[in-house]
Structure 1
Amino acid sequence: MRRYGPALLLLLVGAAVLRISLFSALYLRYVQSGLRPYLIVSGVLLVLLGVAAGVRTAREVPDHDEGPHDHGHDHTTGPRLAWLLSLPAAALLLFPPPALGAYSAAREDAQRAAQGVGTFPALSADNPVDLSVASFTSRAIYDSGRSLKGRTVRLTGFVTHGDGGTWYVTRLLVSCCAADATTSKVQIRGADAPATDTWVTVTGIWHPKGKLGSTAAWPLLDAKSVTTVEEPSDPYEKR
């Protein structure tokens, strides 16, 4: 069985990659949608390499003529340790980890993009107008044209909690993959806080706070309604 270890490891890793990219949308928890074709190709190649390695091993004839003194050292440690590489692949295949959530958002609580104050494009005439959390945050903090004033907006994200009973609708933004994720969040007023990591859609009106572009500026929303929703298949916003 040990002879087939490398082949089985390739098959396991390839199957795990295909499991999240070809047969489901779980890959969106880790990378952007544009990388799906590369994941599928990588998974297929790993499976083919595993099959080829298994066939080659099956055709090889083991040398049984070697005596116990033909080896100058023990070769078993390397292959045994190599099997440890199968554990992450097996975990990904059987128990894919969830998307990043409240814990990851809390680690970047103070991070904001320095965009500078300026005017933003006009919002659509929809009522309410659907905005990403990142877009609402940028307009609330930096838009000198006050495009949010008097508009009813709708935001979707997961719930995070702050001090003193405050809570936020939060989204993580990615440029390439989950490893570079940063946080955008909007404080919600006038509604009871759902449990942490609950996905919600919040409809409400912008509540100005602080001087634009300053550290005192903060995105707030006076809620009209809060609805619990399912986590989207693609939980991240894109830059």
Structure 2
Amino acid sequence: MVAAVRREVQAILLVLLGTALLRISLFSDSYLRYVRAALQPYLVATGVVLVLLGVASAVATVRALRTSPGGGFGPGPAESSRPDHPDHQAAPDDHHGHDHHGHSHHGGPRIAWLLTLPVLAIVLVAPPALGSYTAQRSESTTVKPAGTEPTFPPLPAGDPLSMTLASFDVRAVWDTAAPLRGRRVKLVGFATSRKGGGWYLTRLTISCCAADALTSKVEIRGGAATTQVPPPGSWVEVVGVWQPDGQTAQDDTIPALTAAQVTRIPEPRDPYE
């Protein structure tokens, strides 16, 4: 009977976990807080498999109980009351017929229910995506492209030129041809404060999931940056021109942008680059 209870708990947990995955990946965009959009099909497939495994396990458990002696409910009252029935005979050292190992059997299912806590956290609490709190405590990371003298493709046309923050940082720091010089660019990110005054436009980039997030920052300068200072953590769109001499000894890998326009915007559907 204990084994049946454990199988029932396992089935319920599988269904709950699969349902939680489907809820955040198939019926909402919540999965984008944790992983890249390209992983959605794998999350959906995993959720479906977990639900099917849980349902199959539950059906197998019910069938096993129905086909067991007594229909899974143990011997009938008339049979179990017979003096020679095994269940009627108490253990030699236990005059009350108690199982000395009973407590260990009941501990397993109770502990297994603790596995529902992560599921409830995803469904009920829905932890937010990484944002200004993480970025404020992280250094800006501008990875040098491979090669001794990295080469870059030509920048596309457009005025202003829309770029990701990570791409802007790489081109501003490592592209010796300086194609950004004099080009108006449009960047999207959230505001974080700068030590010593001012603020950064910031964005987090992930390769697989939020655990490998890297921070990209651009120092925002100019009149618009001082007259339209956004609150920390708020999402903004900045249009401006790269300031080639913007790097300082303090921020040698953080480029600067002279902003002409700073506009508050809603948080994007996908908060990561």
What is the TM-score when the length of structure 2 is the normalising length?
0.78
Give yes or no for the alignment of 1:20 onto 2:31.
no
Q: Pick from 178, 186, 189: which aligns with 2:218?
A: 186
- Residue 107 of structure 1 corresponds to 137
Inter-CA distance 140–6: structure 2 relative to 1 (3 Å threshold): same
Query: Which residue identity lines up with residue 196 of structure 2 in the other structure?
Result: G
Q: Report how far residue 182 of structure 1 moved.
A: 0.6
- Residue 74 of structure 2 corresponds to 63
- Residue 81 of structure 1 corresponds to 111
Which whole-Å CA distance do the structure 1 matches of 2:143 and 2:153 have between them?
18
Query: Which residue identity lines up with residue 181 of structure 1 in the other structure?
Result: A
Q: Pick from 137, 146, 149: which aligns with 2:181?
A: 149
Which whole-Å CA distance do the structure 2 matches of 1:215 and 1:228 have between them?
25
- Residue 244 of structure 2 corresponds to 208
Query: Which residue identity lines up with residue 150 of structure 1 in the other structure?
Result: G
Inter-CA distance 170–211: structure 2 relative to 1 (3 Å threshold): closer
Give ranges in structure 1 of 5+ residues lacking alignment. Answer: none
Contact 2:142 2:253 (8 Å CA) reproduced = no
- Residue 42 of structure 1 corresponds to 46
Q: Pick from 121, 124, 147: which aligns with 2:156?
A: 124
Query: Which residue identity lines up with residue 103 of structure 1 in the other structure?
Result: Y
Higher helix share: 2
Inter-CA distance 133–6: structure 2 relative to 1 (3 Å threshold): same
Q: Report how far residue 203 of structure 1 moved.
A: 0.4
Which whole-Å CA distance do the structure 2 matches of 1:28 and 1:216 have between them?
31
Give ranges in structure 2 of 5+ residues lacking alignment. Answer: 66-71, 81-86, 89-96
Contact 2:140 2:254 (8 Å CA) reproduced = no
Identity %: 50
Query: Which residue identity lines up with residue 20 of structure 2 in the other structure?
Result: A
Q: Report how far residue 229 of structure 1 moved.
A: 1.2
Inter-CA distance 165–44: structure 2 relative to 1 (3 Å threshold): same
Q: Which stretch of structure 1 is more off in the superposition, 70-79 or 216-225?
A: 70-79
Q: Which stretch of structure 1 is more off in the superposition, 192-201 or 133-142?
A: 192-201
- Residue 164 of structure 1 corresponds to 196
- Residue 92 of structure 1 corresponds to 122
Query: Which residue identity lines up with residue 113 of structure 1 in the other structure?
Result: V
Inter-CA distance 62–45: structure 2 relative to 1 (3 Å threshold): farther
3-state SS of 1:19 partner:
helix
What is the TM-score when the length of structure 1 is the normalising length?
0.88
Which whole-Å CA distance do the structure 2 matches of 1:233 and 1:139 have between them?
26
Contact 2:132 2:191 (8 Å CA) reproduced = yes
Contact 1:159 1:199 (8 Å CA) reproduced = yes
Query: Which residue identity lines up with residue 63 of structure 1 in the other structure?
Result: G
Which whole-Å CA distance do the structure 2 matches of 1:126 and 1:42 have between them?
41
Inter-CA distance 133–211: structure 2 relative to 1 (3 Å threshold): closer
Q: Which stretch of structure 1 is more off in the superposition, 114-123 or 196-205?
A: 114-123
Aligned residue pair count: 235
Which whole-Å CA distance do the structure 2 matches of 1:120 and 1:206 have between them?
17
3-state SS of 1:176 partner:
coil
Contact 2:165 2:187 (8 Å CA) reproduced = yes
